[in-house]
Amino acid sequence: MQNTLFLEHITPLLQHMLVFLGLAYLFTKTPVFTALVNNSLSLPDKVIIYLVFSGFCILGTSLSELSMQNDDAIANTRAIGAVIGGLLGGPVVGFLVGITGGIHRIFSMSSTIDPINYIDIACGVATTLEGLSAGLIHRYLSRKGRSEVLFSPTFVWLIAFIIGLGHVFTLLLFGLISGEIEATWNLEKEIALPMLIANSVGVALIMYMIKEQKKACDELSSNAIAWEIANKTASIMHTRFNQESSRQISKIIQQETRVGAVAITDRNTLLAFTGLGEDHHKPGSIISSKHTQEAIEKNKVIFLDGINKDYQCHLKKSCELGSLLIIPLRDDAINEVLGTIKLYEPKNKLFRNINRKLGENIAHLLSGRILVGRYELQHELRIQDQYKLLTTQINPHFLYNALTTISHITSKQPDRARSLLHDLSDFFRKNLETSSDTTTLKHELEHVTSYLEIEKARFENRLSIKIEIPKHLFKQIVPVFTLQPIVENAIKHGTSELLGAGLINISCIEQSDKYTLTVEDNAGLYTNRKATGIGLKIDERIKILYGNSYGITILCEPNQWTRVNIRLPIIKE
């Protein structure tokens, strides 16, 4: 008999609870919900919580009215709204939600036929107390810094259950005062258990759902912030991972996350520090914090939340900072720690969970940037290396031949020998002058001319040269050593292999926005030639500087001619 009565009461309650669950779900999908995921609530946030959960209270009462079975107090789910309102909004909001629900209860169940009786008052007061007590729990946990417990289903269920017991107790107390204890007892005997179960489970479920939605929401906004940081730092990390770039990045991260302070370190030094405590965290100083050293050595995230694990700045006792998250910057490919990023919050502020996730995202982002920067630096160095290689490759071989030729003619043609020495010193002077990666076409042609004067002396009538480049292109910028090595190859692997007269022709074809320099020899021995790689290197440099539509192509008609075409852009001033 008791069982059927229990079922009779709990069935509608569970139905109502499901309605709430549905409504609460819809609520989490509205924009106002995002306001509630913050731990620090503003007044408008509180107003929203008040309105929504007062609505729940009223709905709880109204729904039970619809399925009314007896005239007086009935099993209802009003408590759900009050308890959640209190848990989310704190004591003031909880109290207001409770009293709103309570007053509504008092008046909705009474009419002229059925005036307000003790049980109506008792219900109203009990609901108010429920909201208030839930709010007090909120305040207590917030102050303890354990707000996350508010969303733990077991804990919330327990709280809701205890508050529910308080409700029953309040009603019985009222019954005692008004002398209707027996009626109250009989009523409660019937409905207390179903209500306790339905309401506590309802509260727990809704809070759990809010927690899940909040988590999703956190991730979304942390992604959004990470994205914003990615955008803003894109151009900075393009250069290097050093104090200057780190300073700019830490500044952006601090602005975007609004944490107390941000620090970036490499493996040994503090590269940048922005925010609270800037006065005594000096960039450039050696890392002295044992936490940071540990994070670097063990390649692990260290979180000192200031509650479970204390953080105290070891540089200055009065430092405001009270919690710290250290995340290593990693090169995942070789499992190496490049440095760390550190987020701080002051002592009076909690370290938000969202920032922990965010910190990890930022660290990941930054690691990637550093690696790209590193790669680019290596790339740059490689080009410089190539350039150096070209200069050193040319000189000894060429110098030997030049000096041998000069020594051969010194006794018979001293004047010619002297002029060749001039050409030779010109050639090397121009090598010395080229400190950068590029030069003018004029300079490059002069370089080639000095070179050819000496080669012509070596081969005499076995080599003739024609250069036809329009003067207005002389100002064009070309990579250094673009032409000379190609001309050298044309002689070394081309005309010098001919029995008859060799001919080198350097010409140019202009198109609207580009031009092609052609070095042609009349040997046509390219196919027989050993790959020297110099052409390839020049091609690579041109492509790096100007893009893939420029560079070198080689055509060869065996035993007739070899043509090396160097395609370059016309750069307008």
Partner 1 sequence: MIRTIIVDDEPHALDDLESKIKIDNMFNIVGKCSNAFEAIRDINCINPDVVFLDINMPKISGIEMLSMLDKDKMPRIVFITAHGEYAIEAFKNNAIDFLLKPVKADRLEITLARLKENHLPQAIIREAFPNNLKFVPCYRGNQDFLINIKEIIHVYSSPTTGVHLIAGKDAQEFHTNLMLKIFEDNSQLLRCHRQHIINPDYIKLIEKLENGLGKIHTYGNSTIPVSRNYMDNFHPIS
Q: Which stretches of the chain bind partner 1, using CB under 8 A?
A: 397, 400-401, 403-405, 407-409, 411-412, 457-462, 496-499
Q: What's the min distance (Å) between Cβ of 550 and partner 1?
A: 34
Nearer to partner 1, 333 or 499 (CB): 499
Nearer to partner 1, 179 or 500 (CB): 500
Q: What's the min distance (Å) between Cβ of 328 and partner 1?
A: 55
Q: Give the Cβ contact number of residue 134 at 10 Å.
A: 31
Please work out, in degrees rounded to the nearest 5, the angle formed at the alpha carbon of residue 447 by the alpha carbons of 444 and 450.
155
Strand pairing of 270-275 and 261-266?
A: antiparallel
Q: Give the Cβ contact number of residue 336 at 10 Å.
A: 12
- Name the E strands within 236-355: 261-266, 270-275, 302-304, 321-331, 336-346
Structure tokens belonging to residue 545: 């500087």
Nearer to partner 1, 177 or 501 (CB): 501
Structure tokens belonging to residue 246: 């780190």
Nearer to partner 1, 93 or 424 (CB): 424
Q: What's the min distance (Å) between Cβ of 497 and partner 1?
A: 5
CA–CA separation, 535 vs 445, rounded Å?
A: 17
Which segments of 109-265 does DSSP mark as H helices, in order? 118-144, 153-177, 181-233, 243-257
List Cβ neighbours of 12 (8 Å cut-off, separation of 6 or more): 63, 64, 67, 75
Q: What's the min distance (Å) between Cβ of 560 and partner 1?
A: 14
CA–CA separation, 164 vs 325, rounded Å?
A: 40
Nearer to partner 1, 471 or 530 (CB): 530
Q: What's the min distance (Å) between Cβ of 486 and partner 1?
A: 20
State the amino acid at position 40 in one-letter form.
S
Q: What's the min distance (Å) between Cβ of 408 and partner 1?
A: 4
Structure tokens belonging to residue 271: 């590269």
Q: Give the Cβ contact number of residue 21 at 10 Å.
A: 15
CA–CA separation, 174 vs 123, rounded Å?
A: 9
CB 437 within 8 A of CB 480: yes
Nearer to partner 1, 330 or 456 (CB): 456
Nearer to partner 1, 342 or 493 (CB): 493
**Phi, psi at 298, each rounded to 5°:** -95, 0
Structure tokens belonging to residue 533: 């790689």
Nearer to partner 1, 335 or 461 (CB): 461
Q: What's the min distance (Å) between Cβ of 419 and partner 1?
A: 14
The three-state secondary structure class of 133 is helix
Beta-bridge mates of residue 344: 261, 324
Question: What letter would DSSP give residue 194?
Answer: H
**Exposed (0-12), middle (13-18) or buried (19+): which is 317, by Cβ within 10 Å?**
exposed
Q: What's the min distance (Å) between Cβ of 409 and partner 1?
A: 5
Nearer to partner 1, 213 or 562 (CB): 562
Q: What's the min distance (Å) between Cβ of 249 and partner 1?
A: 54
Nearer to partner 1, 15 or 407 (CB): 407
Q: What's the min distance (Å) between Cβ of 402 and partner 1?
A: 11
CB 160 within 8 A of CB 203: yes
Q: What's the min distance (Å) between Cβ of 299 and partner 1?
A: 54
Beta-bridge mates of residue 302: 326
Q: What's the min distance (Å) between Cβ of 494 and partner 1?
A: 10
CA–CA separation, 329 vs 338, rounded Å?
A: 5
Nearer to partner 1, 216 or 501 (CB): 501
Nearer to partner 1, 160 or 556 (CB): 556
> Cα 270 vs. chain centroid, distance in angstroms?
21
Q: What's the min distance (Å) between Cβ of 463 and partner 1?
A: 11
CA–CA separation, 277 vs 292, rounded Å?
A: 17
List Cβ neighbours of 106 (8 Å cut-off, separation of 6 or more): 116, 120, 121, 123, 124
Q: Alpha-carbon Rg of the chain, whole angstroms?
A: 42
Q: What's the min distance (Å) between Cβ of 549 and partner 1?
A: 37
Length reported for the chain: 573
Nearer to partner 1, 243 or 401 (CB): 401
H-helix or E-strand containing 518?
strand 514-521
Nearest to 135 by CA among 186, 82, 172: 82
State the amino acid at position 319 in one-letter form.
C
Nearer to partner 1, 441 or 452 (CB): 452
